[in-house]
């Protein structure tokens, strides 16, 4: 059973997934920050492994992970963090990692340690399903989720492979680019989310689609959730953590989580308006930060 999928469904397919790099700015703070964003309303945590050559990452995440490597980050910290976070929150913890550190560690050994620490699975930005046979077998053995990417440029055949290979959700790449906040999340995201759903349906399955890259505001979260099952926020959270520590990242997560609330008929439409209609009003002003809701499935109740 996929814990990630369960959590997304429990949210009413209105999931907020928060990315933070493990070990940034130090191990203890990164654990506190992950717990804080789960408490503030993240459905799942995406914990990034610092890597020397992060090809998919923009400047904010690069700077954070590079400083983490420079202070001597070791993979042992990852497993420690996963265990500590899962002990304190029910939100599933997915690990986002480039592939070479896993290869070097040993694919099965990595999967075994991750499962033992309570991790839910892996998101693999530079491992496509066709190169992932070892990982898929290990994931099966250790009952872990595996999240592959689909991009606006992906062919139907490649989307089929991502759908077939993924468990948990399909990482729906919103835009052709790297991580980093953008004012407009590409309209391509909506088209891609629809294509993934259609391809999955024609294969007789269903795929949960969480949209990532460029999302940084509650309005964007709300817009994404009109057509996808989850919204992934990374750089904005990393920036908040770097600038204002745990309180700041908690506050931002809470404000983003307001975007997961179903605002009723006024916003139920399917119009492509990402112009953040009135959305701005109810969302960021939520006082949530300090109330620190301790439940990771609250959004599910929002309906």
Partner 1 sequence: MSASQQSPSLREQHGPWFGAYGGVFMPEPLMAAIDELAECYAECKADPAFQAEFARLSRDYTGRPSLLTDATRLSEQAGARILLKREDLNHTGSHKINNVLGQALVAQRLGKTRLIAETGAGQHGVATATAAALFGMECVVYMGEVDTERQALNVARMRLLGAEVVPVKSGSRTLKDAINEGLRDWVANVDSTHYLMGTVAGPHPFPEMVRDFHRAIGDEAREQTIALTGGLPDAVLACVGGGSNAMGIFHAFLDDADVRLIGLEAAGDGAETARHALSIERGAPGLLHGMRTYLLQDDEGQTLESHSISAGLDYPGVGPEHAWLHDLGRAEYQPVSDTEAMDAFLALTRAEGIIPAIESAHAIAGALRLAKEQPGSTLLVSLSGRGDKDVATAGRWFHLLDEGAQQL
Q: Which is nearer to partner 1, 34 or 102 (CB)?
A: 102
Q: Catalytic one among 32, 39, 46, 229?
A: 46
To partner 1, the closest distance from the beta carbon of 113 in angstroms equals: 13
Q: Which of 5, 57, 274, 298 is the catalytic position?
A: 57
Give me the sheet containing 145-147, strands edge to edge.
145-147, 121-123, 93-96, 44-48, 15-21, 230-233, 209-212, 170-173, 149-150
153 touching partner 1, by CB under 8 A: yes
Considering only residues 180 through 219, tell me which ones interact with partner 1, judged by CB under 8 A: none
Cis peptide before 25 (omega within 30 of 0): yes
Question: Scanning residues 224 to 283, which ones bind partner 1 (CB under 8 A)?
Answer: none
Please identify, among the stretches 14-22, 25-33, 143-151, 223-231, the one whose residues bind partner 1 according to the rule CB under 8 A. Answer: 143-151
Of 81 and 254, which has the nearer Cβ to partner 1?
A: 81
58 binds partner 1 (CB under 8 A): yes
52 burial type by CB count under 10 A (0-12 exposed, 13-18 middle, 19+ buried): exposed
Task: Tell me 167's DSSP state.
Answer: B
Classify residue 87 as exposed, middle or buried by CB count within 10 Å of its CB (0-12, 13-18, 19+): exposed
Q: How far apart are CA 23 and CA 123, in angstroms?
A: 18
> Smaller CB distance to partner 1: residue 62 or 216?
62
CB of 274 to partner 1, least distance (A): 20
Tell which one of 2, 11, 62, 296 touches partner 1 (CB under 8 A): 62
Which CA distances in Å does 264 have to 116, 154, 302?
41, 34, 10
3-state secondary structure of 150: strand
Answer yes or no whether residue 52 interacts with partner 1 by CB under 8 A.
yes
Residue 71 in the binding site for partner 1 (CB under 8 A): no
In angstroms, the CA 196 to CA 227 distance is 11
Would you call 176 exposed, middle or buried from its count of C-beta atoms within 10 A (0-12, 13-18, 19+)?
Answer: exposed
CB 235 within 8 A of CB 20: no
- Which residue, 32 or 77, has its beta carbon nearer to partner 1? 77
Site for partner 1 (CB under 8 A): which residue of 14, 113, 146, 158? 158
Could you confirm whether 70 is annotated as catalytic? no
Distances (CA, A) of 143 to 61, 111, 118, 120, 138: 29, 9, 11, 8, 8
By CB under 8 A, name the one of 19, 135, 148, 169 that touches partner 1.
Answer: 148
Q: Does the annotation mark 57 as catalytic?
A: yes
Q: Which of 47, 173, 197, 236 binds partner 1 (CB under 8 A)?
A: 173
Q: Does 119 interact with partner 1 (rule: CB under 8 A)? A: no
Q: Which stretch binds partner 1 (CB under 8 A): 10-18, 21-29, 49-57, 88-96?
A: 49-57
Rounded distance between C-alpha atoms, residue 272 and residue 288, angstroms: 28
Min separation Cβ 130 and partner 1, Å: 8
Contact 94, 123 (CB under 8 A): yes
* Catalytic center residues: 46, 57
Instruction: Name the residues that contact partner 1, by CB under 8 A.
Output: 51-56, 58-59, 62, 66, 69, 74-75, 99-105, 125-128, 131, 148-155, 158, 162, 173, 176-178
């Amino acid at each position: 059973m996929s814990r990630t999928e369960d959590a997304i469904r429990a949210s009413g397919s209105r999931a907020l997934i928060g990315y933070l790099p493990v070990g940034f700015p130090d191990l203890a703070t990164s654990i506190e920050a992950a717990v804080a964003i789960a408490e503030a309303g993240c459905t799942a945590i995406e914990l990034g492994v610092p890597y020397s050559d992060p090809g998919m990452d923009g400047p904010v995440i690069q700077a954070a992970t590079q400083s983490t490597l420079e202070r001597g980050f070791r993979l042992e910290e990852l497993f420690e963090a996963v265990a500590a976070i899962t002990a304190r929150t029910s939100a599933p913890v997915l690990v986002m990692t480039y592939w070479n550190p896993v290869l070097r560690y040993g694919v099965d050994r990595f999967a075994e340690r991750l499962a033992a620490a309570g991790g839910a699975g892996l998101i693999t930005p530079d491992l496509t399903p066709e190169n992932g046979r070892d990982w898929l077998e290990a994931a099966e053995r250790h009952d872990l989720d595996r999240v592959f990417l689909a991009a606006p440029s992906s062919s139907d055949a490649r989307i089929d492979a991502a759908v077939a290979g993924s468990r948990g959700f399909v990482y729906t790449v919103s835009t052709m680019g790297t991580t980093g906040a953008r004012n407009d999340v590409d309209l391509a995201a909506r088209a891609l989310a629809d294509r993934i759903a259609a391809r999955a349906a024609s294969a007789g399955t269903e795929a949960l689609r969480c949209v990532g890259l460029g999302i940084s505001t509650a309005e964007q979260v709300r817009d994404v959730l009109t057509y996808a099952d989850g919204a992934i926020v990374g750089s904005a959270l990393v920036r908040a953590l770097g600038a204002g520590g745990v309180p700041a990242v908690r506050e931002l997560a809470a404000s983003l989580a307001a975007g997961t609330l179903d605002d009723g008929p006024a916003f139920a439409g399917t119009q492509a308006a990402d112009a953040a209609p009135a959305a701005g009003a109810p969302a960021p002003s939520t006082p949530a930060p300090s109330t620190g809701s301790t439940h990771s499935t609250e959004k599910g109740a929002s309906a």
